[in-house]
Amino acid sequence: MSTNAELSPEGWVRGQTEKILAQGTTDGVEIQGRPVVLFTTTGAKSGKRRYVPLMRVEENGKYAMVASKGGAPSHPSWYFNVKANPSITVQDGTTVTELTAREIDGDERAHWWELAVAAFPPYAEYQTKTDRQIPVFVLE
């Protein structure tokens, strides 16, 4: 895992990222009792590597990134980084993999959304809080 990546200025995100980096694994790091994975993205403008801990939504070695931002009216800043630079590092436990992200829609998004809500039920509530359709990326 690249050690020159930047930590989030968001306190709870920074705390989770520091815990993962310190222990070398995502194991035991959770949000509301649900497991997370650590994504490393590349800034769209800065080109800097940035850590993004998100809920673990995985199926057959593929992962989803759900751009919920808690149901806020705007996309999280990392959304634009992934759109600009879809090569993403994923750390799940101690396993680190390089994958490529693509934003999905239609039936494929419906499938992954169902998996995401199963992994983290608050996603369903977040969608009701915003007029935007929460974007979902699949990483493979």
pLDDT at 3: 52
Q: What is the CATH number of the domain that holds 22?
A: 2.30.110.10
Q: What is the mean pLDDT of residues 112-122?
A: 97
Q: Is the pLDDT of residue 2 over 50?
A: no
Per the domain annotation, does 5 fall within a domain? no
Per the domain annotation, does 4 fall within a domain? no
Contacts of 52 (CB under 8 A, 6+ apart): 8, 13, 38, 39, 40, 41, 65, 78
> How many domains are there within the chain?
1
Output DSSP code: residue 132. Answer: S
* Cα–Cα distance for residue pair 75/5, rounded to 1 Å: 21
Per the domain annotation, does 78 fall within a domain? yes
Q: Please, what's the b/e burial string for 89-118 (b: 16 or more CB within 10 A of its CB; e: otherwise)?
A: bbbbeeeeeebebeebeeeebeebbebbbe
Per the domain annotation, does 65 fall within a domain? yes
Residue 8: pLDDT band (50, 70, 90) is confident
* Number of CB atoms found within 10 A of residue 67's CB: 22
Q: What is the mean pLDDT of residues 71-94?
A: 97
pTM listed for this prediction:
0.93
Range of the domain at 61: 11-139
102-115 pLDDT per residue, tens: 999 999 999 999 99
Average confidence score pLDDT of the chain: 94
What is the chain's length?
Answer: 140
Q: What is the mean pLDDT of residues 78-95?
A: 98
